[in-house]
Amino acid sequence: MTRNEFMWGLANALAGLPQSEITRITEYYDELFNEALDEGKTEAEVCESLGSPEEIAERVRVEMAFVRAEQKPDAKSMNAVLLVIIGLFALPIGIPIAFALISVMFGLAVAALAVVVSFGAVVIALGAAGLGCFIGGIAIIVGGGAWFGIGMIGAALLLFGLCVLGGVGSFTLMRAMLRGIVRLCRSVYNGISRHLKGRKQA
Amino acid sequence: MDAQLKRGLLDACLLAILTRGESYGYKISQSAERFMPVSESTLYPVLRRMEQQGYLETRQQEHNGRLRKYYRITPGGEDRLRVFRTEWGEIKRMVDYVMGEDRNDDAQ
């Protein structure tokens, strides 16, 4: 076979593959021929050592399919997760565990809510107390007790200040707790799926 | 030879060649010819696959007025080679045992 015959046969056999791949392959075998001929080999010798272009093209397709198959999301691992979830609920021991996990999550959510509500109550109380002092202060000033009245208004301002601070603080706290819960859920999920993957590889 | 086994063997051979230093297509096929029968050394498909898998990387450099493509092993490729060596240590022990048994039977 001559070099041209080989390269022609190769181009034909590779028909259908992406142009970028065809270019790579052609460059590779061009380089191979150039180097071999430089060393003194004949075209026939090189062709014989390479085998048939059809066979090479076939192997190229096989290897490409192999790479494509590797890159697909692994059906096996997703099935494994599903099976475990179903299995958890099917086993006599699975349902209690699942419920336990859900209960813990629920308990945490309720606790978080309780904290938020109590903070809210304190903030409201501060606000109400501030308002009360303010009104009382004005009443006292009107009634004639100027200094005492002013003192009451001062107290009211203090209470309002604390109310605002409390409000901002509890808002920040609420956001932080929400983020913490989300992170906890995510790490639990990751832990479980990593454990399942580990078992699959074993 | 079993196709699966052959793929693994060729991968490992190429990685072993490249771990000694980067090389180019023609020189790689010369080195590989020492282990594999000449007619079976269709290296390109395997080199390309290993490049896509991240075990090798390539670069082009001019040599004597022509562009030459150099192949180099990556850290991922080194890891892969290490795995091969570990696994084959065990396989080699089994193969030695099997070969040894045959010889004993012949002696009887």
Chain A contact for B4 (CB, 8 A cutoff):
no
Mutate to test the interface with B, among A39, A49, A71 (most CBs of B within 10 A): A49
Task: Pick the residue from chain A with its C-alpha nearest to B7.
Answer: A63
Return the pLDDT at A157.
92
pTM: 0.55
User: What is the band of A94 on the pLDDT scale with cuts at 50, 70, 90?
Assistant: low
Alpha-carbon distances, residue A182 vs A52, A176, A177, A187, B37 (angstroms): 59, 10, 9, 9, 59
pLDDT at B95 over 60: yes
Q: Which tens digits make up the pLDDT trace of B41-85?
A: 578 999 999 999 999 999 999 988 888 999 999 999 999 999 989
**Chain-chain contact of A31 with B29 (C-beta, under 8 angstroms):** no
Chain A contact for B1 (CB, 8 A cutoff):
no
Please list every residue in chain B whose beta carbon sits closer than 8 Å to the beta carbon of residue A34. Answer: 66
Chain A contact for B98 (CB, 8 A cutoff):
no
Return the pLDDT at A187.
73
3-class state of residue B34 by DSSP: coil
Nearest to B49 by CA among A98, A165, A60: A60
Q: Are A55 and A98 in contact (CB under 8 A)?
A: no
C-alpha B95/C-alpha A50 separation (Å) is 31
Q: Produce one character per residue of A184-201: b if its CB has 16 or more CB atoms within 10 Å, e if not.
A: eeeeeeeeeeeeeeeeee
Q: Averaged over B30-46, what is the pLDDT?
A: 75
User: What is the band of B16 on the pLDDT scale with cuts at 50, 70, 90?
Assistant: very high
C-alpha A179/C-alpha A187 separation (Å) is 12
Please list every residue in chain A whose beta carbon sits closer than 8 Å to the beta carbon of residue B49. Answer: 63-64, 66-67
pLDDT at B39 over 60: no
CATH number, domain B3-107, options 3.30.56.10, 1.10.10.10, 2.70.70.10, 3.30.70.260: 1.10.10.10
Alpha-carbon distances, residue B24 vs A13, A25, A72, A166 (angstroms): 24, 14, 31, 71
Residue ranges of the domains in chain B? Answer: 3-107
pLDDT at A197 over 70: no
Return the pLDDT at B81.
94
Within 10 A of B15 (CB to CB), how many other CB atoms are there? Answer: 22
Nearest to A31 among B26, B38, B40 (CB): B26
Q: Which two tokens stand for residue A78?
A: 């997703």
C-alpha B38/C-alpha B29 separation (Å) is 9
C-alpha A117/C-alpha A115 separation (Å) is 5
User: What is the band of B108 on the pLDDT scale with cuts at 50, 70, 90?
Assistant: very low
Dihedral over alpha carbons A88, A94, A98, A104 (to 10 degrees)? -140
Residue ranges of the domains in chain A? Answer: 3-72, 77-201
Q: Which tens digits make up the pLDDT trace of A107-134?
A: 888 888 898 889 889 999 999 999 999 9
Q: What ipTM describes this predicted complex?
A: 0.82
Instruction: Decide which of A92 and A202 is more confident.
Output: A92
pLDDT at A202 over 50: no
Q: Averaged over A147-155, what is the pLDDT?
A: 89
C-alpha A181/C-alpha A115 separation (Å) is 14
